């Protein structure tokens, strides 16, 4: 979503690099580029004015003028100001002292409240809570059924006493849902409420009635991050009519410009608490302003990547794989297990996008086919257990059979096997402390021209005697040449034993004392 903004900001910083001191003109030009970048990203005008004014004021201060690298100092200032307009610190849920904790969702129709309710329930379940969903959206067709299906997928209880589709009282359902959660010992209740295509008094009255009936601990405003600057107007209207404690941004994986995310927290004073960035129920997490600012500036998000790895990787299984790698027993079965653990972390494109500096490879990431991992797994699964344990036994006929079983070509099988051997060899060398093959200072690295020149000079070989192409003449030449002395296996000069003079040996007595 922030690709356009990231590219424009990166372009504005290029002119600052290499300058030992920033002039007034440099600061004004950079501020102008940043202003245009934010306006193109649909950031609200008041937010843009405050943001650019803060950057210009700090850029003219002592922290930049006294810095060894002014350009990096300006980027640091932009990063800190981005974190500030995104909310500053991560805001977490407030849980009730006496369960259940009641969370009410509000927002426009189409913002994704029903799906987000299931995502939030699944996330709370992973945090060792016992959530229950309450279907209080009785207006939208099939909203109750959608919540039941999503709740079943998330593995959480859904309280839906009314069929919906215009039948039932949502306030009564919400009140009964809280009582049911208390009776069944669920510690969190998530109430899905109805939305509308626009802001009207009926919506506000119904949402306010549910709020007064259940007295929620948290009211979350769910907003579509793709609606641009209108998100600020909608958020302000809900804040005035219903009131809420935090914002949840949905559809952050879209191709819109992302101005809503940069505007809502600053304009409403309410923090963004959660972000949804995909269609899967697992594509949901806490919103970290500092990490989002780091992504916008193409600095990566390694903390989120590490958290996902810790959540999905089996530490014991990874330790066993490392031991096998060091001992040379790493097989294609182990390789398949590692690939499956990586898949649990989600989209490989998203994970690579969390690495610093990956903005310059965005086109390659966009063209990456996620199904390639499935194709590799199909090839490995087409092998027999013996072949996966010992890939060296995979000859031509076996490769042909494996390719037919996986629906791939023999060239694909050859490529996979060759890459596996190369990767295993490299990882074994790294595991033994040998360093990365081909990197400077690593054992086994090919010597360059200068290194070869520093080696001890060797006697140059003269041109060999020309040999006739006629077999008969060549035999006569070889018979006429004297026989070359046999090489001594101990490195001593060749020749007969009678030619060896013991007195010519160096004095070795000092080594024997």
Kindly report, residue by residue over 345-364, the tens digit of the pLDDT: 767 666 666 666 666 666 66
Who has greater pLDDT, 182 or 309?
182
Say yes or no: 357 and 276 in one domain: no
Both 126 and 12 in a single domain?
no
Candidates 404, 348, 399; CA nearest to 371 is 348
pLDDT at 363: 66
Query: Do 272 and 352 fall into the same domain?
Result: no
Tell me how far apart the alpha carbons of residues 222 and 116 are, in angstroms, rounded to a whole number: 8
Same domain, yes or no: 274 and 205:
yes
Quote the CA–CA distance of 375 and 417 in Å, as a whole number: 14
Q: Which pLDDT band holds residue 219 (cuts at 50, 70, 90)?
A: very high
Between CA 206 and CA 37 the distance in angstroms is: 40
Mean pLDDT of the chain, nearest integer: 76
Structural domain range at position 384:
312-431
Confidence of residue 444 (pLDDT cuts 50, 70, 90): very low
| 87-119 per-position pLDDT tens digit | 888 888 889 888 899 999 988 877 888 999 999
How confident is the model over 439-444, as a mean pLDDT? 42
Sheet holding 157-159, edge to edge: 157-159, 131-135, 188-192, 101-107, 218-224, 246-250, 272-276, 284-286
For residues 122 and 281, is the Cβ–Cβ distance under 8 A? yes
Let me know whether 151 and 276 are in one domain.
yes
| Model confidence, pTM | 0.63
Per-residue model confidence as pLDDT tens digits over 248-281 = 888 877 655 567 667 787 888 888 888 888 788 8
Question: Token pair for residue 350?
Answer: 């998203």
pLDDT score, position 256: 56
- Asked whether residue 300 carries a pLDDT value surpassing 70, the answer given is no
Query: Looking at the predicted structure, is the pLDDT value of residue 496 above 70?
Result: no
Show the tokens assigned to 467.
Answer: 């040999």
When comparing pLDDT for 507 and 335, which is higher?
Answer: 335
Q: How far apart are CA 196 and CA 139, in angstroms?
A: 9
On whether residue 485 sits in a domain, the answer given is: no
Q: Does residue 120 surpass a pLDDT of 90?
A: yes
DSSP sequence for 44-91: -HHHHHHHHHHHHHHHTSHHHHT-S-HHHHHHHHHHHHHHHHTTSS--
**pLDDT value of residue 309:** 66
Please tell me the predicted confidence (pLDDT) of residue 305.
66
Quick check: is 506 in a domain?
A: no
Helices (H), 191-301: 201-214, 230-241, 259-268, 289-296
> Of 105, 179, 192, 177, whose CA–CA distance to 142 is shortest?
192
How sure is the predictor about 27, in pLDDT bands with cuts at 50, 70 and 90?
confident
Evaluate whether residue 138 is within a structural domain: yes
Measure the CA angle with vertex 129, ends 128 and 131; round to 5°. Answer: 145
Q: Taking Cα atoms as reference points, which of 328, 305, 330 lies closest to residue 318?
A: 330
Say how far apart CA 304 and CA 302 lie, in whole Å: 6
CATH of the domain at 395: 1.10.260.30
Q: Which residue, of 299, 328, 353, is where some domain finishes?
A: 299
Looking at 384, 403, 431, which one is the last position of a domain? 431
Residue 154 clears pLDDT 70, i.e. is over it: yes
User: Residue 178: inside a domain, yes or no?
Assistant: yes
In a domain, 284, yes or no: yes
pLDDT at 497 over 60: no
Residue 495, burial from CB neighbour count under 10 angstroms (0-12, 13-18, 19+): exposed
CATH of the domain at 47: 1.20.120.140
- Residue 61 phi, psi (nearest 5): -85, -175
Q: What is the domain-level CATH number for residue 214?
A: 3.40.50.300
Q: Is 384 a member of any domain?
A: yes
* Structural domain count of the chain: 3
pLDDT at 458 over 70: no
Cβ-based neighbours of 396, under 8 Å, separated by 6 or more: none
In this predicted structure, the answer to whether residue 486 has a pLDDT above a threshold of 50 is no
Single residue among 431, 461, 491 that ends a domain in this structure? 431
Banded model confidence at residue 425, pLDDT cuts 50, 70, 90: confident
* Residue 445 confidence (pLDDT): 39
Does residue 278 share a domain with residue 155?
yes
Residue 437 lies in a domain: no
pLDDT digits (tens, 9 = 90+) for 65-93: 665 577 777 788 888 888 888 888 888 88
Q: What is the mean pLDDT of residues 461-473?
A: 56
Q: How far apart are CA 189 and CA 219, in angstroms?
A: 12
Do both 129 and 264 map to the same domain?
yes
> What CA–CA distance (Å, rounded) separates 74 from 55?
8
**186 and 331 both lie in a single domain:** no
Helix/strand/coil for 285: strand
Among candidates 180, 114, 111, 126, which has minimal Cα distance to 151? Answer: 114
> For residue 500, which of 511, 485, 510 has the smallest C-alpha distance?
485
Three-state secondary structure call for residue 247: strand
Examine residue 100 and say whether the peptide bond preceding it is cis (omega within 30 degrees of 0).
yes
């Amino acid at each position: 979503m922030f690709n356009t903004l990231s590219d424009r900001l990166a372009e504005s910083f290029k002119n600052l690099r290499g300058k030992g001191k920033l002039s007034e003109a440099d600061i004004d030009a950079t501020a102008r580029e940043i202003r245009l970048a934010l306006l193109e990203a649909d950031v609200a005008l008041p937010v843009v004015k405050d943001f650019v004014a803060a950057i210009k004021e700090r850029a003219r201060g002592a922290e930049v003028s006294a810095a060894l690298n002014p350009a990096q100092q300006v980027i640091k200032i932009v990063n800190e100001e981005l974190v500030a307009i995104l909310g500053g610190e991560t805001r977490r849920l407030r849980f009730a002292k006496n369960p259940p904790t009641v969370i009410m969702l509000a927002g426009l129709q189409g913002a994704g409240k029903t799906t987000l309710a299931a995502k939030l329930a699944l996330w709370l379940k992973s945090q060792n809570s016992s959530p229950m969903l309450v279907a209080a959206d009785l207006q939208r067709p099939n909203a109750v059924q959608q919540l039941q299906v999503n709740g079943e997928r998330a593995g959480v209880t859904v309280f839906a006493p009314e069929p919906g589709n215009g039948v039932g009282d949502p306030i009564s359902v919400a009140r009964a849902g809280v009582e049911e959660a208390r009776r069944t010992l669920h510690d969190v209740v998530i109430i899905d409420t109805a939305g509308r295509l626009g802001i009207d008094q009926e919506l506000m009255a119904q949402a306010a009635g549910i709020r007064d009936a259940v007295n929620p601990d948290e009211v979350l405003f769910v907003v579509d991050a793709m609606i641009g600057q209108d998100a600020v107007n909608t958020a302000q209207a809900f804040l005035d009519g219903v009131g809420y404690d935090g914002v949840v941004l949905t559809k952050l994986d879209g191709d819109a410009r992302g101005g809503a995310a940069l505007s809502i927290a600053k304009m409403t004073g309410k923090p963004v608490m959660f972000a949804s960035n995909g269609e899967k129920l697992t594509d949901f997490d806490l919103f970290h302003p500092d990490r989002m600012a780091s992504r916008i500036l193409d600095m990566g998000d390694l903390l989120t990547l590490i958290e996902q790895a810790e959540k999905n990787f089996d530490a014991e299984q990874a330790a066993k794989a490392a031991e096998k790698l060091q001992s040379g027993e790493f097989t294609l079965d182990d390789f398949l297990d590692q690939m499956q653990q990586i898949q649990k972390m989600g989209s490989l494109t998203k994970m690579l996008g969390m690495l610093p500096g990956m903005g310059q490879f965005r086109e390659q990431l966009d063209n990456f086919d996620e199904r390639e991992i499935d194709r590799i797994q199909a090839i490995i699964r087409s092998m027999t257990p013996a072949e996966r344990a010992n890939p060296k036994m995979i000859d031509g006929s076996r490769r042909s059979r494996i390719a037919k079983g996986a629906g791939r070509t023999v060239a694909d099988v050859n490529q996979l096997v060759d890459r596996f051997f190369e990767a295993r060899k490299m990882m074994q060398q790294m595991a033994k402390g040998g360093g990365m093959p081909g990197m400077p200072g690593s054992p086994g690295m090919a010597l360059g021209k200068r290194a070869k020149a520093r080696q001890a000079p060797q006697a140059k070989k003269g041109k060999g005697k020309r040999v006739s192409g006629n077999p008969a003449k060549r035999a006569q030449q070889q018979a006429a040449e004297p026989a070359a002395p046999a090489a001594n296996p101990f490195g001593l000069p060749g020749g007969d034993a009678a030619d060896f003079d013991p007195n010519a040996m160096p004095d070795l007595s000092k080594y024997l004392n």
